[in-house]
Amino acid sequence: MLDDGIEPPSYALPGDAGADLRTTEDVVLEPGARALVPTGVALALPEGFVGLVHPRSGLAVRHGLTLVNTPGTIDAGYRGEIKVPLLNTDRSESIHLRRGDRIAQLVIQQVAQAEFVRVDELPDSDRGAAGFGSTGGFGPGQGGSTPSSH
Ligand SMILES: O=c1ccn([C@H]2C[C@H](O)[C@@H](COP(=O)(O)OP(=O)(O)OP(=O)(O)O)O2)c(=O)[nH]1
Ligand SMILES: [Mg+2]
């Protein structure tokens, strides 16, 4: 920890995927504003792992708080302080965060590294090159389910 007054990342409940990260600073985010917020945490993740910084859904739903770059990528070799680019998506309410508040969550995963090579052709697949809504969306004419009217 880079800040002894701040709790290390912690899992709120046994089995949780995300360990909560806290802000070391009081922060006020005006509607639409963003701020790079320090967490007081620096890590040495083993090679082959990544830290992904995700928003907390409660703060997202209640206040519109999200991360500009969600999920943020913490490389295994990064030794600096984890910082979180917060964004207040609410159009009218500002968000007031206090030092020690849990602002985001860190999910640690194993990652594969690829070797990228040039080829003339790719092997066939069911999807092929179809994407970007090719299987349908929502609403009339989108090939998906139609929401009930209200
Ligand atoms: O939300 C984030 C995202 C990244 N980082 C740190 C850890 C990460 O290893 C480093 C680089 O992040 P990223 O690769 O996403 O940024 P970049 O713009 O590609 O910078 P770089 O050129 O340093 O890789 O910044 C954070 O502290 N918080
Ligand atoms: Mg990078």
Strands (E), 1-150: 18-22, 27-29, 34-38, 49-54, 65-67, 72-74, 83-88, 95-97, 102-110
Of 52, 73, 87, 103, the one to substitute when testing ligand 1's pocket (max ligand atoms within 8 A of C-beta) is 73
For residue 143, the model assigns a pLDDT of 59
Q: Is the CB of 42 under 6 A from ligand 1?
A: no
Question: Which protein residue's CA is at the shortest distance from atom 24 of ligand 1?
Answer: 75
What is the rounded CA–CA span in Å between residue 21 and residue 77?
19
For residue 101, the model assigns a pLDDT of 98
For residue 150, the model assigns a pLDDT of 46
For residue 141, the model assigns a pLDDT of 67
Distance of CA 131 to the CA centre of its chain: 23
pTM: 0.92
**Locus of tokens 């194993």:** 110
ipTM more than 0.85? yes
For residue 93, the model assigns a pLDDT of 98
Query: Residue 62: phi, psi to the nearest 5?
Result: -80, -35
**Locus of tokens 């912690």:** 10
Q: How far is the CA of 126 from the centre of ligand 2 (A)?
A: 32
Residues 6+ positions from 23 with CB-CB distance below 8 Å: 37, 38, 39, 84, 97, 98, 99, 100, 101, 103
Question: Which protein residue's CA is at the shortest distance from atom 13 of ligand 1?
Answer: 73
Pick out the chain residues at pLDDT < 50.
145-147, 149-150
Give the position, in ligand 1's atom list, of the atom nearest the Cα of 83.
27
Of 37, 67, 74, the one to substitute when testing ligand 1's pocket (max ligand atoms within 8 A of C-beta) is 74
Question: Which DSSP letter does residue 10 get?
Answer: B
For residue 139, the model assigns a pLDDT of 86
